[in-house]
Amino acid sequence: MRDEAEYEDLLANWSDLELGLGVVLANPNKAQEFLLRIQQYDRWMQSLVERETDLGLYQLFQLASNSPVGYSASHALVCSVLCHLMAQDLALQLPERDSLVRAALTMNIAMTTLQDELANQKEKPSPQQQEAIRTHSVKGAMLLGSLGVRDENWLDIVAHHHDGDSGIKAAPAASNTPMHAAILKAVDRYAAMISPRHSRAGRSALESIKSILGMSSTANDPIGQSLVRTVGLYPPGTYVALDTAELAVVVRRSPRPNQPFVVLISKPDGSLLPTPRLQDPAASGIQIRAAVAASQVNLRINHAHVLRLGAYAARLR
């Protein structure tokens, strides 16, 4: 991250990807070569993530936690990135990874417009909206099939990613689908928890990951543990309060999920720190006291400068 122009250029790439995906998801029947478009968005996402994973996560979590505008596309993009990284962590074969990630991009295709409406309404879903939510997994898989998707695992993952809470049972799935659908279900819930609605603020990433782990039937749930290994307890782009009473933003993951690299952005009194400072909690002895939801942070942050500091973190351990 050389300068602010480079930061803005990369952020524009993520925003353009989100916008293009949103157009296709909102009007799938009007999209020319729908299947090809989804595959292209998948490759575009991979190129951005592989350019610098921590930087990509930083920008994604900033986008996801700061605004409900275009929620459906933003949510799909976050989920696809997390599924992509978890597929690597869990050593899934490439065809399995492709099915999982493309299911993440399209899992809510049957309720894209409704999902955006729900993110912007304060009232509880109406009975009609509740019915659409309840049936969207199965209807989404059917819609994807009509749009030319022939990957049975992709379709099965979409149809089954709400198994256990939708009240509707899809047709029996292929033998490896339950694990893939369970990955998407966990990622879906995690990403939804950190994102704001008009009816509530987004949770902190730590609250969200604890909730996901708490839903597991066992403390050794491989999917929950993979999510922790993938993003850490405090992912890049999220905020933390330190035991020094200072506020920091996470810039890079580390081998220790509870000790990421951070950049200090506020003084103990809560005022903006004129010169942000890179901090390695593992080396300094400073402890992260709590995760902080983005809705509680009202400081004007120069993200390009913060990320330039974060680039030095790779040299410290």
pLDDT digits over 70-128, tens only? 788 988 999 999 999 999 999 999 999 999 999 999 999 999 988 888 877 778 888 99
Q: Is the pLDDT of residue 46 over 90?
A: yes
What tokens appear for 291 in the block?
């995760």
3-state secondary structure of 147: coil
**End-to-end alpha-carbon separation of the chain, Å?**
20
Tell me how far apart the alpha carbons of residues 241 and 288 are, in angstroms, rounded to a whole number.
Answer: 6
* Closest-CA residue to 154 (of 50, 18, 35, 71): 35
Q: Is the pLDDT of residue 296 over 90?
A: no
pLDDT at 313: 74
What tokens appear for 301 in the block?
């942050």
Question: How would residue 278 be classed by pLDDT, with cut points 50, 70 and 90?
Answer: very high
pLDDT digits over 165-194, tens only? 555 555 555 555 789 999 999 999 888 776
Which range is most confident: 42-46, 201-205, 254-258?
42-46
pLDDT at 317: 54
Name, in order, each residue with C-beta under 8 angstroms of 36's C-beta and a sequence gap of 6 or more. none
Mean pLDDT for the stretch of residues 186-203? 65
pTM of the prediction? 0.87
Q: Is the pLDDT of residue 140 over 50?
A: yes
pLDDT at 283: 82
3-state secondary structure of 34: helix
Question: How would residue 148 be classed by pLDDT, with cut points 50, 70 and 90?
Answer: very high
- Phi and psi at residue 242, to the nearest 5°: -100, 165
pLDDT at 20: 94
* Closest-CA residue to 195 (of 44, 76, 26): 76
For residues 155 and 120, the model is more confident at 155
Q: How many CB atoms lie within 10 A of CB 93?
A: 10
Average pLDDT, the chain: 85
Counted residue by residue, the chain has a size of 317
Q: Kindly state the DSSP code that residue 230 receives in the 8-state scheme.
A: H
Sorted by where each starts, the structural domains of the chain and their CATH numbers stand as 4-231 (1.10.3210.10), 239-315 (no CATH)
Q: Is the pLDDT of residue 198 over 80?
A: no
Buried b (16+ CB within 10 A) or exposed e, 262-300: bbbbbeeeeeebeebebbbbbeeebebeebbbbeebeee
